[in-house]
Amino acid sequence: MGYGIGAVVAGVALSVKSGLVYRGAIGACACLLLVAAVLLERGVPRSVTLKEKPANDEAGGRGYRVLWADRPYLALVGLNTVVQAALQTSVVRLIRPLPRPVSLCLAGVLWASWAALTAGPLWLPRASWVPCLTVAVLCYSAAQLVHSPVSNALSADAAPADVRGRYIAVFQYSFAIATVVAPLLFSALFDLSSVAPWATLAALALLTVPGMPALAPRLPRAAPATGGAGRSAARQRGGTP
């Protein structure tokens, strides 16, 4: 929820064309980070006493040693990081000939595949878990690589030039709201069953396939055009509305 609220506040600040507001936001961020550091230093206990430890605690003192020794887990996490860092430019170049709605439909299918594969170990034998989750991570990474530049470019080109900053701010609010709602939704769905969250995610992602072709004709003509990230996304990343 903290990330969601922060994103909303940042979006409001960025929608105001004022250098003073920008500098104030940067200064406030720096001060809040210092406050967070002080709170972590003073308010979080560094260790627990022996009386607080269970008598049969076998994990005492292990800490990050367990994590660094868990090579399959590190490989799973590192896979997404490497793919994101190494392939973003190549993916943008690859999808450039595609109309943007088609690219977003592709991202939706990839996210639906990720959700289905993540739920796969609930039924598959244990030996297939690692391959299944590895492919799931690759699908998730590919969806991010496709969706991020294309959606940013589409949101920028669909906005009137004179108020593009405000349009992009509202676009960013959608991510902030999702960040707040997602944990609550997942908790409620997990109470139903272990499959419900992943089935819901897959269904919502697949709504992109009929949704984007229906929405594209209603957008400004240049917005759904080909061009991948395009110049508008570059302007957005550079902070120019």
Q: What is the pLDDT of residues 100-127, one digit of tens each?
A: 999 999 999 999 999 999 999 999 999 9
Of 32-41, 53-62, 67-76, 84-93, give the lowest mean pLDDT range. Answer: 53-62
Q: 19-33: b or e for each residue (b if 16 or more CB lie within 10 Å)?
A: eeeeeebeeeeeeee
Average pLDDT across the chain, whole number:
80
Residue 54 has pLDDT above 90, yes or no: no
- Percentage of the chain lying above the pLDDT 70 cut: 80
Of 57-66, 69-78, 122-131, 152-161, give the lowest mean pLDDT range. Answer: 57-66
145 contacts 88 by C-beta, under 8 angstroms: yes
112 contacts 205 by C-beta, under 8 angstroms: yes
Predicted TM-score (pTM) of the model is: 0.66
The sign of the torsion formed by the CA atoms of 22, 28, 31, 36 equals negative
pLDDT (mean) for 230-241: 42
